[in-house]
Amino acid sequence: MTTPNIELAELIEGLRQPEKTISPKYFYDERGSQLFEKITTLPEYYPTETELGIMRDNIDEIADLVGPQASLIEFGSGSSLKTRILLEHLHELAVYVPVDISEALLLESVHRLREDFPSVNIIPVVADFTRQFALPNPAVMPLRNIVYFPGSTIGNFIHDTALDLLKVMYEEAGEDGALLIGVDLQKDPAIIEAAYNDSAGVTAEFNLNMLRHLNREFGTDFNTDAFSHSAEYNRNKGRIELRLVSSEEQDISVGNEDFTIEEDEAILTEYSHKYTLGGFAEMAERAGFSVAKVWTDADALFSVQYCIRK
């Protein structure tokens, strides 16, 4: 688990950048995790329902590729919504290891899953999955590890950092392991922008909640009432960019450092890159994976990809 001192140093380093930046991992306190789960049910937010449809339509083939007695290691498990499809269909699963930075949401999710899947060995791990972490020792020794990374979270990382994360997954998968991952695809920018600017304002609240989390966790003093949500698609970079824009000049204390945020200055909080199939395959190759199978919906909005270690 990342220590508070390291996290504070990371936060300060982000705010020192020419464009002030806060890591998207700070979205996910308990409230942020709840808001994200709400986002996934919004009519404008296509990724969740599209990915669920892909999983349901292809689950028998997915289960056969995973094989019997596997260890399923889910990075950023959250509510484990999509994982239920796997738990219902995988053959003789040895253990399910949900990994999440939000302990409260993780334990709540595990409690529900244990009630619904009493025969499945579930061992939660509270960790920052962007760094290597120790895997638990289950009662039944797995024949192989399957790293599971649903949603479009890989798109939240710039390409170099995404590559580093894939390398962490490569190591956690181990010999003969594999990766099952959700990858959002490039499409009409209007569809993408609508997904991050929902009419109910839930994504805006999710973005703003990050500052409340930081105020509570690190004693920062952001005036949250003076910020507004911004989400725009960058066509050249193929990504949606989320920012928080200050309506006034304010001085912020973070640890032992002070920062001035100017009126109309924006803090970058998230990228969400949208990939081509070829672009993701190239990055996976650099991390040591080979894309063995790709499933998409009829409109090619989203993909689920099965990658094996080379």
Instruction: Indicate whether 116 and 169 sit together in one domain.
Output: yes
The enclosing domain of 112 has a CATH number of 3.40.50.150
Residues 155 and 265 in one domain: no
pLDDT mean by block of 10 residues, the chain; 310 residues: 71 96 89 91 95 97 98 87 94 95 87 96 93 93 97 92 97 97 97 97 98 95 97 96 98 94 98 97 98 98 97
Domain co-membership, 146 together with 209: no
24, 68, 230, 275, 295 from 156: Cα distances, Å: 8, 32, 16, 12, 21
pTM higher than the cut 0.85: yes
Which structure tokens are listed for 135? 């895997």
Residue 198 shares a structural domain with residue 304: no
pLDDT at 4: 62
152 and 282 assigned to the same domain: yes
Q: What token pair was written down for 81?
A: 């919504």
Length reported for the chain = 310
The predicted pLDDT at position 2 comes to: 47
Based on the domain organization, do 79 and 181 belong to the same domain? yes
How many domains, the chain?
2
Same structural domain for residues 34 and 59? no
- Say what the pLDDT of residue 175 is: 95
Which pLDDT score, from 0 to 100, does residue 214 have? 96
CA triplet 188, 191, 195: central angle to 5 degrees?
A: 145
Q: Are residues 170 and 87 in the same domain?
A: yes
* DSSP conformation letters of 55-87: HHHHHHHHHHHH-SSEEEEEET-TT-TTHHHHH
Which residue range(s) make up the domain with 178? Answer: 46-187+275-309
